[in-house]
């Protein structure tokens, strides 16, 4: 039983898989955003449906219902986000002239099409967020079943929004070993599940290339306010710390950076937190060196500058 513990089949230069190469974030070529802005502010708003009858894990996404069936209590807390929170967040972003990339569960488009209308009316980007939070992609999912989930998500969201959907975010940042290949195969251009960099990089799959976009996990409202149970004062301080540090590095390296903010309608969309969101966004967007962009705009700007093979 212990014999294979001392055998190391992937001990070699580089990583222990072939999806991308190891390279220091700080030794990459310089990145430039439009008008020489130092920071791309990339706001993602997850718009989610948490089914009451979600199957038992292998993987429970952060925020998944956890009080036992039928968990009306948690369901309705998350549902507050699609009834109230998302519109409150839209008002705040409208007031500041900001657009977001909404990572949308396909089920939201079929159950609550009004949300999709409001997203497209604002020219926000729609990023495919999987079927819903009860359909988590994971290593034990069959290839054909996962392909169907991805195609159904893509078709539902592109039909309801009338647009090509270029970005993908897996529920709970969770993938199988086939997910990246299936995304490339089905026309996706970028993926946001990997939390290992501050800037985009290219991924290689059997079906072609994908751009990995650095959607924050560490300073998402979900981790700070729900998982770690911190206060909004701590949330504000940590997000602003990240912004200040990344901005200073962009100056020093002469290479632009991204500030990713993940804003959940069922977390920051509550009345006791929305004021903090508005204040944080105002402080960041008041800085003259911020480019307000969607995920696709950032990925496109990156790919134009970094045509390097991997």
Binding stretches for another protein (CB under 8 A) = 1-2, 4-8, 10-17, 22-27, 58-59, 138-140, 170, 172-177, 179, 193-198, 217-219, 223-224, 227-230, 234, 237-239, 241-242, 244-246, 249
Q: How far is the CB of 151 from another protein (least distance, A)?
A: 21
Q: How far is the CB of 217 from another protein (least distance, A)?
A: 7
Q: How far is the CB of 84 from another protein (least distance, A)?
A: 27
- Kindly tell me which of 99 and 204 has the beta carbon lying closer to another protein: 204
- Kindly tell me which of 172 and 265 has the beta carbon lying closer to another protein: 172
- Kindly tell me which of 24 and 123 has the beta carbon lying closer to another protein: 24
Peptide bond between residue 259 and the one before it cis (omega within 30 degrees of 0): no
Q: How far is the CB of 261 from another protein (least distance, A)?
A: 12
Contact 170, 210 (CB under 8 A): no
- Kindly tell me which of 8 and 73 has the beta carbon lying closer to another protein: 8
Q: How far is the CB of 20 from another protein (least distance, A)?
A: 10
- Kindly tell me which of 119 and 141 has the beta carbon lying closer to another protein: 141
- Kindly tell me which of 3 and 309 has the beta carbon lying closer to another protein: 3
Q: How far is the CB of 57 from another protein (least distance, A)?
A: 9
């Amino acid at each position: 039983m212990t014999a294979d513990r001392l055998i190391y089949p992937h001990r070699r230069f580089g990583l222990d898989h072939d999806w991308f190469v190891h390279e220091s974030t700080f030794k990459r070529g310089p990145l430039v955003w439009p008008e020489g802005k130092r920071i791309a502010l990339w706001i993602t708003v997850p718009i989610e449906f948490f089914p009451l009858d979600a199957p038992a894990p292998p993987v429970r996404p952060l925020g998944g219902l956890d009080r036992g069936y039928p968990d009306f209590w948690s369901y309705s807390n998350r549902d507050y986000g699609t009834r109230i929170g998302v519109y409150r967040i839209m008002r705040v972003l409208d007031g500041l002239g900001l657009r977001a990339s909404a990572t949308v569960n396909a089920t939201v488009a079929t159950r609550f099409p009004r949300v999709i209308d409001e997203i497209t009316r604002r020219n926000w980007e729609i990023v495919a967020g999987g079927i819903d939070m009860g359909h988590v992609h994971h290593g034990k999912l069959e290839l054909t079943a996962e392909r169907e989930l991805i195609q159904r998500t893509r078709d539902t969201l592109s039909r309801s929004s009338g647009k090509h959907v270029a970005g993908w975010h897996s529920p709970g940042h969770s993938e199988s070993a086939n997910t990246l290949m299936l995304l490339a195969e089905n026309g996706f251009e970028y993926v946001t599940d990997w939390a290992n960099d501050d800037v985009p990089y290219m991924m290689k799959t059997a079906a072609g290339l994908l751009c990995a976009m650095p959607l924050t996990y560490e300073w998402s409202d979900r981790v700070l306010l729900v998982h770690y149970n911190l206060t909004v004062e701590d949330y504000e301080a940590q997000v602003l710390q990240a912004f200040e540090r990344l901005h200073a590095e962009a100056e020093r390296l002469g290479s632009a950076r991204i500030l990713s903010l993940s804003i959940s309608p069922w977390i920051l969309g509550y009345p006791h937190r929305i004021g903090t969101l508005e204040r944080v966004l105002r402080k960041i967007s008041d800085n003259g060196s911020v480019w307000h962009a969607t995920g696709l705009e950032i990925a496109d700007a990156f790919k134009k500058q970094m045509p390097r093979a991997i």
